[in-house]
Structure 1
Amino acid sequence: MTQAPPSATTFESLNPANGDVVGTHPIHTEEEVRDAVARARVEAAWWAGLSFDERGKHLSTWKGVMVRRLAQLADLMHLEMGKPHGDAVMEAALAIDHLNWAAGHAEKVLKRRKVASGLLMMNQAATVEYRPLGVVGVIGPWNYPVFTPMGSIVYALAAGNAVVFKPSEYTPGIGEWLARTFQESVGRPVLQVVTGFGETGAALCRSGVDKVAFTGSTETGKRVMAACAETLTPVVIEAGGKDSVIVDQDADIEAAADAALWGACSNAGQTCTGVERIYVHERVYDEFVASITEKAKGLSAFEGDDSPIGPITMPKQLDVIRGHIQDALSRGGRALVGGADAVGERFVQPTILVDVPEDSTAVTEETFGPTVTIAKVRDMDEAVERTNATRYGLGNSVFSKANGMAIAERVRSGMSSINGVITFAAIPNLPFGGVGDSGFGRIHGADGLKEFCYAKAIARQRFKPMLNLTSFSRTDKADQQLAGMLTMLHGRGTTVGPELPDRD
């Protein structure tokens, strides 16, 4: 089976565009979650016993199934989460590319390798390798229900772990689809899914898994950490963001405006690394604002397969978006596009805000809607200072022809894109994660593979040492020889402090 036995209690997933029922799913209890983890423990032993090549072949088979059923997966994402079909296809394609990278690079990153022993321990051969933890629990979000959780799932699987996946209650069918196609490909439930609400996620945290990978809001991440702390279960947290775009005076303004608008409004703004703040050099501010405003006026969100912007998936987020817009306007901000009436019952229209105070919630808190604030800055020093004046630190973008790298290096964030938005997420070789209230730990890339492993160090004696230091038979002469070696190796060029008096 790909999931725990059906619970007596169920819930429905709904199409956020119209409220239609998409599917019915079990609410798995704590006992059922524990049973799933117990099964995963058995599967983990088998899966970890395979070679990297054998696991890679299984994952490649799964990749092939996903590619052949790409339209099916995109349709389900459109129904359950609401995003346009084209965006759903792009999201699934990126996840498949990461699956391919993880399967193909796990051995190179994790296999046993020799490391230098140093002169003092030259008689030892030293190696380090990265071994799977065992069973990894993944708690995924609804906004990118394939790409984001797969950033943990496929890297954990490629590293040799079994996975129990708890998808968002808004997108449970997608989680079940992933687990079902995996089992069809591999033949064993190395990947299982449990569905339900917060209680099911908390049960997974307390179930005895060896690590939990969570993606969601900062506040929920804190609750996940608290639950995991009860059993000293380590976590990797990918939480919220308030990402900025910095536009320097030498930027390609049309390209910057186009990218910033897409970063702010794609996926209805429901992107942890989406664009929520823009800081523009005063010399190009008017030009940039005119360009992005013109482009935004041509965008709208509506029910229908041809809408470029989908609905707001989580109904309670509508109040947050509305509140941030109202706070910005009440504090002296102006809406050049959209505004207070942009928030409907299911859809939010693109909203461009200017002259918003930096202490407005529209600037300080994660909005998670198709809105963005634009501020004029005198130079890039001010742009960086404002960008860094946040408790978040996930990603950011810089547009500059000459100074992009110099600016990006000064931004306090886990990731940056230069002359593009969110491009770092599409590169499997790059780690993905944040600092501050955006979380810690990394998925993707070599760091993502190692995140789901523990380092195993081995020192093996090659020949007997000239100085046997780990023995009670060690002589005064050996101590003197050790002191002499230390002086020879490390004594040159060191600063010697004042001599301390002898103690009685």
Structure 2
Amino acid sequence: MAESAQARSEQPRAARTGASRPKVLTSYDPRTGEVLGEYAVMGAGELTRTVRSARTAQQWWAAIGFDGRKRWLLDWKRSIARGTRDLVELISSETGKPRMDAAIEVTLAVEQLDWVARHAERMLGRRVAARFRRDREGSVARLPLGTVGVLGPWHNPVLTPMNSIASAMAGGNSVVFKPSELTPGVGAWIADTWSHLAPNQPVLQVVTGDSSTAAALTRARLDKIAYAGSAAGARELAVLCAQSGTPLTVEPGGRGAMVVQVDARLDTAAAAAVYGAMANSGQHPAGVHIVYVADSVYDPFLELIADQAGRLRPGADRRAAYGPMLVEAQIDVVRKQVRDALTRGGHALVGGLDSIREPYIEPIVLTDVPDTSSAVTGEAVGPVLIIHRVATMDEAAERINAAETPLPVAVFTRDVRSVPDFAARLRTELVTVNSTPVYGIHGPGRTRDPLTPELFTRAQTITDKHPTDQVTLGTFDRHPQRLRVARAIFRLRHRV
């Protein structure tokens, strides 16, 4: 269901109260087990009422136009920005992220809301289009779909859903937002800032609950649903949306690959690899899972990796590099993958099985891991980095392309002009140069992408007949003289 294959495992240990569905969803601090709040597990009745009020508000919201929506969205942005300290604390408490990481996420989310609000009319407003036929001129505008559902992830509970929420609202839609069952407080805080700003216009509303709530949302007659999360969750959600006929936009998670060429700045590449693998305990949907390193720089690169990864420490204090694993089941996934890698002949450069000290996992760096190991083929869910030695860049491309699904790729090299030729050999839609994290390549999570707001709109075309055309359809009143002129023009243009 919306959080799908992970839905049951994402509920913290202390929140599991038995086989029956709880009426209340409890939010916990994963670092301490402290109860942070309780939220309703909303069912079909609550969702029906929420969607009904969202549809009424959407009519007002669409009618005020781009300028009106821009003013409201910028006011909302300022409200969120003024509450940054409280929001950062809430994110840190519900996810275990260090406050600095939470502050960066909030900053990026506010900037994204500002950007969408200021550029929505340019991206979606009516504009003159090229002539559709020789006898037709016209214009195209993007109009709102109506009411959009947004299912947010727990790893970036503000930034990832904000891109969909802001894009949908800027396009004239109302939004029903379901945050992850692990971060309901963050979702409620975001919706509350809007309701305080516009208490009589529920353009944005939050619904809380577990996977059953998300499944019910697919049956609530929404005009579209946007989802960010695991590939398994996306598949299950696609089935549910297909049954209800609800359009679905998906941003699948998954860390990518890095290629370190012989001329790369090794210290920069090593720092990027460690950050891409370890940030947020490796639980983010973007970053680095596997690094392919040119043979001649492999050994010095490993030294840099060992030094940088070895200095990181997880924990709950301000000096910790990252926090705990939030989903209990994923700790077991990391343990099984590391054990499989070592059993199949891999070596631990940093850490190992003894690095797993629930709920924390210290940095783990593996080398010589066979491509058949589940540590390579499985989903990257923890602070684990795998490094491969490659003889040539052709070998690197071949091994990257062998992945079951296309991976985003980061290429580190000083010869930037060579990247397009190398990228052409990769089965991927996104290549970044000398930077990480490697962001996801599909769906609504790509910030400042002018195509994202279009996902939440429909195109409307208006065409006009050109007044000087000699021949037209749509009437039986044909003029012989005009037909003769049209035939003469046809012969000249096509050399008949």
Q: Calculate the TM-score normalised by the size of structure 2.
A: 0.90
Q: How do 1:198-237 and structure 2 match up within 5 A?
A: 198-237=211-250
1:420 to 435, 444, 453: 435
Q: How do 1:144-163 and structure 2 match up within 5 A?
A: 144-163=156-175
**Are 2:422 and 1:407 aligned?**
yes
Map of 1:176 onto structure 2 = 188
More moved, 439-448 vs 390-399: 439-448
1:479 & 1:148 partners in 2: Cα distance?
A: 58
SS in 1 for 2:312: coil
**Are 2:257 and 1:244 aligned?**
yes
Tell whether the 8 Å contact from 1:102 to 1:155 is kept in structure 2 after alignment.
Answer: yes
**Are 2:325 and 1:287 aligned?**
no
Map of 1:92 onto structure 2 = 106
**Are 2:370 and 1:357 aligned?**
yes
More moved, 239-248 vs 369-378: 239-248
How has the CA–CA distance of structure 1 residues 226 and 444 changed in structure 2, closer, same or farther, with 3 Å as cutoff?
farther
Summarize deviations over 1:108-153 as a string: whole Å, max 9, x none: 01111111226621xx331101111111100010000011111111
Amino acid in the other structure paired with 1:134: G
How has the CA–CA distance of structure 1 residues 62 and 119 changed in structure 2, closer, same or farther, with 3 Å as cutoff?
closer
Q: How do 1:51-450 and structure 2 match up within 5 A?
A: 51-117=65-131, 120-121=134-135, 124-187=136-199, 188-393=201-406, 395-402=408-415, 403-422=418-437, 433-434=441-442, 444-450=448-454
2:336 & 2:482 partners in 1: Cα distance?
A: 73
Tell whether the 8 Å contact from 1:242 to 1:364 is kept in structure 2 after alignment.
Answer: no
TM superposition shift of 1:261: 0.2
How has the CA–CA distance of structure 1 residues 394 and 184 changed in structure 2, closer, same or farther, with 3 Å as cutoff?
farther
TM superposition shift of 1:444: 4.3
TM superposition shift of 1:419: 0.6
TM superposition shift of 1:234: 1.2
More moved, 29-38 vs 181-190: 181-190
Structure 2, unaligned stretches of length 5 or more?
Answer: 1-20
2:49 to 35, 43, 53: 35
How has the CA–CA distance of structure 1 residues 269 and 488 changed in structure 2, closer, same or farther, with 3 Å as cutoff?
farther
1:297 & 1:257 partners in 2: Cα distance?
A: 12
2:63 to 41, 49, 55: 49
Identity %: 38
SS in 1 for 2:141: strand
Summarize deviations over 1:48-101 as a string: whole Å, max 9, x none: 111211111111111111111111101000100110000000011011111111
Tell whether the 8 Å contact from 2:187 to 2:206 is kept in structure 1 after alignment.
Answer: yes
Amino acid in the other structure paired with 2:83: R
How has the CA–CA distance of structure 1 residues 151 and 467 changed in structure 2, closer, same or farther, with 3 Å as cutoff?
same
TM superposition shift of 1:461: 2.7
Tell whether the 8 Å contact from 2:400 to 2:407 is kept in structure 1 after alignment.
Answer: no
Map of 1:454 onto structure 2 = 458
TM superposition shift of 1:279: 0.4
2:447 & 2:484 partners in 1: Cα distance?
A: 49
Tell whether the 8 Å contact from 2:140 to 2:459 is kept in structure 1 after alignment.
Answer: yes
Summarize deviations over 1:198-238 as a string: whole Å, max 9, x none: 11111111111111100111111011111111232111111
Tell whether the 8 Å contact from 1:8 to 1:26 is kept in structure 2 after alignment.
Answer: no
Summarize deviations over 1:353-382 as a string: whole Å, max 9, x none: 000011211111212110011001112121
Aligned length, in residue pairs: 473
1:491 & 1:286 partners in 2: Cα distance?
A: 67
Amino acid in the other structure paired with 1:149: P
**Are 2:21 and 1:12 aligned?**
no
1:269 & 1:480 partners in 2: Cα distance?
A: 72
TM superposition shift of 1:106: 0.3
